[in-house]
Amino acid sequence: MGKFLVDGRHCLSGRVRINGAKNSALKLMVAALLGHGTFEVKNVPHITDVETMTGVLQALGVGVRFDSGTMQLKVSEVQGHTPEALVKSMRASVQVMGPLLARLGRVEVARPGGCNIGSRPLDIHMTSFEKMGATIDVEGDKFVARAPRLHGADITFRYPSVGATENIMMAATMARGETVIRNAACEPEIVDIQDFLNGMGAQVKGAGTPVITIQGVPELGATDFSVIPDRIEAGTYLLAFLVTGGNGTLENVVPEHMTPLLEIVSSMGAEVSVHERTITVSSPSKMNAFRLITGPYPGFPTDLQPQMVALATLAHGTSEVEEAVFDQRFGYTRELAKLGALIEPNTSTVAIHGPATLAGANLVAGDLRGGAALVLAALAADGHSAIEGLEHIDRGYEAMEHRLRSLGAKVVRVEE
């Protein structure tokens, strides 16, 4: 995988076109398992998580072609044995359970892996499948779910889990009768999946609100679709402008999906101007410290928390960041400290004292968004940094070094 070599303190400017959302594209790919026919999905990012999901779908019998951001999926018969190694390498693969259970009545999935950001139980998924008539057994390292035909149910989530909302939505599209999900996650990616499923002939409504209602239908077809822009990738590039004191424009974004980030960077002194599909940001001469707490949408996205901590190292005063979605999402702060960041970690909060004078160091990314935070901090640091662990960054950022270079950053990937 190699490493990034970063020469810091070059001011970024220009325009960057944001890709389709990883967290939508992966789920749309999975949703296709419910259908029949040929799908054409545009605006799919070229990232390794999409490659992994391609491997999962191919193993299940789906034909996949992917070229220049457009993915063609051909679905006829599918089978229910998911490839263990691929599933273990990516948590989103647990999402195949809903569609395969609905379609085949039986599915075996290895316990999934994913980012190293804390314990990630699946109880909400599993208890909800049970409410829909499934039996779930844990056999060794696998979940085995069985349900001759799922039935609708009225389900209240104890927490608005994104993955569980999607899994149950997908399972319910072909269940007998009506399913209601209460306390559902409201993320924009859930609306995208609703639109995709309805394009296939499903009857889903309410996505984007806490109550989603699904009327089961006997079968689903195919659809053409374009994935929504990735609000996390967009946020990361917006912060890349700010950490280098630069200014620039994000193209192909949905600004209202990014409100919590735009509010915070505005309060820090950045100038933000929003148009229909673009956001332009300019750095202030001095950034103010801030407080934030992550939360389910429309709260501040946990997937931008590490990148915000990187920015906080440059703000004047003490910033406080509380992580309220995952229980161990501050591992990357140890690496930021190697650059000279002044960060006091507690269990679920960190205090960041700024502005710190950052100086280049050798860093190792341990998870996807923590890795992005290291890149941002290295762009802001004096001198040279090396960042290993690119397999994490590549999971969610397409050609990050090329895109940063096109904005004026000095970043190269060297293979080892």
Q: Is 66 in the site for ligand UD1 (CB under 6 A)?
A: no
Q: Is 50 in the site for ligand UD1 (CB under 6 A)?
A: no
Work out which of 18, 62, 92, 174 binds ligand UD1, going by CB under 6 A.
92
Residue 222: partners with Cβ closer than 8 Å, 6 or more residues away: 32, 35, 36, 37, 38, 39, 73, 75, 200
Judged by CB under 6 A, the chain residues 164 through 183 that form the site for ligand UD1 are 164
Backbone angles phi, psi at 172, to 5 degrees: -75, -20
Amino acid in position 232 = I
Beta-bridge mates of residue 247: 13, 282
**Owner of token pair 């239908």:** 217
Question: Which of 121, 218 has the CB closer to ligand UD1?
Answer: 121
* Residues binding ligand UD1: number (CB under 6 A): 20
Q: Give Rg (Cα) of the chain.
A: 21
Q: Is 159 in the site for ligand UD1 (CB under 6 A)?
A: yes
Go through 225-256 and write b for each residue having 16 or more CB atoms within 10 A of its CB, e for each that does not: bebbbbbbbbbbbbbbbbbbbbbbbbbbbbbe
Work out which of 108, 192, 233, 303 binds ligand UD1, going by CB under 6 A.
303
Q: Closest CB to ligand UD1 belongs to which residue? A: 163
* Catalytic status, residue 115: yes
Q: Is 220 in the site for ligand UD1 (CB under 6 A)?
A: no
Structure tokens at 89: 């390498």
Question: Which of 29, 374 has the CB closer to ligand UD1?
Answer: 29
Work out which of 6, 26, 47, 191 binds ligand UD1, going by CB under 6 A.
26
Report how far apart, in Å, the C-alpha atoms of 280 and of each of 15, 134, 244, 272, 306 are: 9, 49, 15, 6, 22
Question: Which of 153, 380 has the CB closer to ligand UD1?
Answer: 153
For residue 229, the number of C-alpha atoms closer than 13 Å in the C-beta half-sphere is 22
Task: Tell me the CA end-to-end span of the chain in Å, nearest whole number.
Answer: 7
Q: Is 138 in the site for ligand UD1 (CB under 6 A)?
A: no
Structure tokens at 139: 């056999």
Question: Which of 66, 326 has the CB closer to ligand UD1?
Answer: 326
Question: Which of 179, 244 has the CB closer to ligand UD1?
Answer: 179
Question: Which of 89, 249 has the CB closer to ligand UD1?
Answer: 89
Q: Positive or negative CA dihedral for 84, 88, 90, 91? A: positive
Work out which of 302, 307, 333, 385 binds ligand UD1, going by CB under 6 A.
302
Closest CB 275 distance from ligand UD1, rounded Å: 26
Q: Is 123 in the site for ligand UD1 (CB under 6 A)?
A: yes
Q: Is 131 in the site for ligand UD1 (CB under 6 A)?
A: no
Which phi-psi region, left, alpha or beta, contains residue 358 (left: φ > 0; alpha: ψ -120 to 50)? beta
**Annotated catalytic residue: which of 6, 71, 115, 126?**
115
Q: Report, as residue numbers or ranges, the catalytic residues.
A: 115
Binding site for ligand UD1 (CB under 6 A): 23, 26, 91-92, 120-125, 159, 161-164, 185, 302-303, 325-326
